[in-house]
Amino acid sequence: MATQALAEDAVRERLRELPGWSLGEDGISRAYRLGSHFAATAMVVHIAQLQEELNHHSELTLGYNTVSLTVSTHDAGGAVTEKDIELARRVEAAAPGHGAN
């Protein structure tokens, strides 16, 4: 998958299909709220699996009942690339199964 930096407007266009995701200085980010600490922990494990499958890894934070992630592409100097968008899409697809919102 391409690791060329996406222009800001291209990132924002893709984020239109990813409600809850935002663009910041460190990449694209999303925070999820779960029904319990255990549910949040289980989602973190699932995200780790998705990241390993994609070989693309976020900064992933587990709170009491929240999971937050921020991702950019190190190999592109911290820019946002299609790999970041693809990880976001895969996490979004997994979120409903965890009761995350």
Stretch that binds ligand H2B, among 12-20, 38-46, 62-70, 73-81 (CB under 6 A): 73-81
Distance of CA 21 to the CA centre of its chain: 8
Residue 81 to residue 36: CA distance in whole angstroms: 32
Per DSSP, the three-state class of 95 is helix
- Any idea what DSSP says for residue 80? -
| Cβ count within 10 A of residue 4 | 10
Closest CB 19 distance from ligand H2B, rounded Å: 22
Q: Which of 15, 50, 73, 91 binds ligand H2B (CB under 6 A)?
A: 73
The 2-41 site mask, x for binding ligand H2B (CB under 6 A), equals: ----------------------------------------
| By the rule CB under 6 A, 75 interacts with ligand H2B | yes
